[in-house]
Amino acid sequence: SQTIHQWPATLVQPVGSPLSLECTVEGTSNPNLYWYRQAAGRGLQLLFYSIGIDQISSEVPQNLSASRPQDRQFILSSKKLLLSDSGFYLCAWNRLLTDTQYFGPGTRLTVL
Amino acid sequence: GQQVMQIPQYQHVQEGEDFTTYCNSSTTLSNIQWYKQRPGGHPVFLIQLVKSGEVKKQKRLTFQFGEAKKNSSLHITATQTTDVGTYFCAGPPGRDDKIIFGKGTRLHILP
């Protein structure tokens, strides 16, 4: 069976500090991978998606970046966090040619 | 581009009352999906509808796909406290592989 992992679960970071969030998927190969951000009580904002290694599409211009160094690994990074980067970050995957998305447990980021 | 609109944004109901959320698309959808996100949790896939006019049930939840495949609804009968959360509909990805999520309906149950 397939599983998706995200870490850390919670993170408190000062403004201006770097960020690295990791997501890994097990039990499948060549998944589409996605990073979403969700502000408190709000909808899902798509940040990045990837259809393959080193193939990243950005949806929102901002101080975040994403990388996919391995087939089942997706990393969200920032060199300098802003207060507005606070939120709930969700990684998701779906199989090629299917639409159902499976979400990871998420990382709750607070920037102070 | 394709948009998926969801209403209402919030809904407060008394426990035992029914609840309905609606999803409308600007274009015809090949399918529509529904997800539930419990407070503090992550979205979890509930169901996918594919056929025009399709109706599917999961216990107290009834999902419908419109005849024109541009709208969908989720109806919960006799709500319970376990139904609390945000319900999202999602349209299939276009050529860009992006699934389009509605903004969600947050359901709050009054005891």
Average pLDDT over all residues of chain A = 92
Question: Which residue is it, tokens 């994403």?
Answer: A66
Ordered by where they begin, the domains of chain A are 3-111 (2.60.40.10)
Q: Hey, what are B10's tokens?
A: 């919030």
User: What is the tens place of the pLDDT at every residue in A15-36?
Assistant: 999 999 999 999 988 999 999 9
- Checking if the pLDDT of A96 tops 80, the result is no
Ordered by where they begin, the domains of chain B are 4-110 (2.60.40.10)
Q: Hey, what are A55's tokens?
A: 């193939």
pLDDT band at A111, cuts 50/70/90? Answer: very high
B59: left (phi over 0), alpha (psi -120 to 50) or beta: left
Cα–Cα distance between A45 and A54 in angstroms, integer?
Answer: 22
Of B31, B35, B42, the CB nearest to A106: B42
Which of B5, B42, B44, B100 is most worth mutating to test chain A (most A CB atoms within 10 A of its CB)? B42
Q: Which comes out higher in pLDDT, residue B31 or A96?
A: B31
Interior angle at CA B21, CA B19 and CA B24, nearest 5: 160
Element (H, E) at A15: none
Q: Between the ranges A42-46, A47-51, A104-108, where is the mean pLDDT highest?
A: A104-108
List, in order, residues 6 or more apart from A31 with CB less than 8 Å away: A25, A71, A72, A93, A94, A95, A96
User: What is the tens place of the pLDDT at every residue in B57-101?
Assistant: 999 999 999 999 999 999 999 999 999 999 999 988 766 667 889
Contact map slice: B 6-45 vs A, CB within 8 A: 31, 33, 35, 41-45
- Checking if the pLDDT of A11 tops 80, the result is yes
Cα–Cα distance between A12 and A15 in angstroms, integer?
Answer: 10
User: What is the tens place of the pLDDT at every residue in B1-50?
Assistant: 668 899 999 999 999 999 999 999 988 998 999 999 999 999 999 999 99
Q: Are A43 and B103 inside 8 Å of each other by CB?
A: yes
Chain A residue with the nearest C-alpha to that of B41:
A105
What residues in A contact B36, CB-CB < 8 Å?
A: none
pLDDT band at A109, cuts 50/70/90? Answer: very high
If interface means Cβ-Cβ distance under 8 Å, which residues of chain A face chain B? Answer: 32, 41-44, 46, 49, 51, 57, 59, 90, 94, 99-106
